[in-house]
């Protein structure tokens, strides 16, 4: 599974915020760069932030993010990515099993369906 639009938006805005840009300006720039509306960009950003369990920008009010906090956030993000990999494998396995079952069902019914179609052709 690839990176989602929300993850992509969150990362792009995060880079702009790290460079010192205000959130509103970052949203405006990403919207202009991607051709998406500011509301869509903002929604993607906040949705991803919520998925990551972040309530707000810890750097608000002039506070800076400590190195230790940044490392902890990075570690949590990487741990969630590990869980996501396992989840993606399980989803792929389920899809493969479903496809295998569909294949077997089609293979089993192929002769009967062919016979039925041949009977209809002969009747015409």
pLDDT one-digit tens code per residue, 73-118: 888 888 888 888 888 888 899 999 999 999 999 999 999 999 999 9
Instruction: Provide the residue range defining the domain that includes 99.
Output: 66-124
Q: Model pTM?
A: 0.44
Confidence bin at 61 (pLDDT 50/70/90) = very low
The pLDDT assigned to 82 comes to: 84
Say whether both 97 and 123 belong to one domain: yes
Question: What is the predicted pLDDT for the residue at 86?
Answer: 80
Q: What is the DSSP string of 62-88?
A: G----HHHHHHHHHHHHHHHHHHHHHH
For the stretch 30-59, pLDDT in tens is 999 999 999 999 999 988 888 888 765 544
Which residue, of 43, 61, 79, is where some domain finishes?
61
Residues 56 and 73 in one domain: no
Q: What is the reported pLDDT for 116?
A: 95
Please tell me whether residues 86 and 38 are part of one structural domain: no
Report how many helices (DSSP H) and strands (DSSP E) the chain contains, helices first.
4, 0
Residues 94, 56, single domain; the answer is no
The pLDDT value recorded for residue 67 is 85
Q: Is the pLDDT of residue 1 over 70?
A: no
| Number of domains making up the chain | 2
Do residues 85 and 44 share a domain?
no
Same domain, 38 and 53: yes
The residue ranking higher by pLDDT, 59 or 121, is 121
Q: What do you get for the CA distance between the two ends of the chain, in Å?
A: 49
Instruction: State phi, psi for 110 to the nearest 5 degrees.
Output: -60, -45
């Amino acid at each position: 599974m690839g990176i989602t639009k929300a993850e992509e938006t969150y990362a792009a805005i995060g880079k702009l915020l790290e460079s010192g840009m205000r959130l509103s300006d970052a949203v405006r720039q990403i919207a202009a760069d991607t051709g998406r509306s500011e509301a869509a960009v903002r929604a993607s950003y906040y949705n991803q932030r919520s998925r990551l369990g972040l309530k707000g920008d810890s750097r608000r009010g002039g506070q800076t993010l400590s190195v230790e906090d940044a490392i902890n956030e990075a570690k949590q993000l990487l741990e969630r990515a590990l869980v996501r990999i396992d989840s993606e494998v399980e989803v792929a396995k389920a899809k493969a099993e479903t496809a295998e079952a569909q294949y077997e069902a089609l293979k089993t019914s192929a002769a009967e369906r062919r016979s039925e179609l041949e009977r209809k052709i002969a009747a015409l």
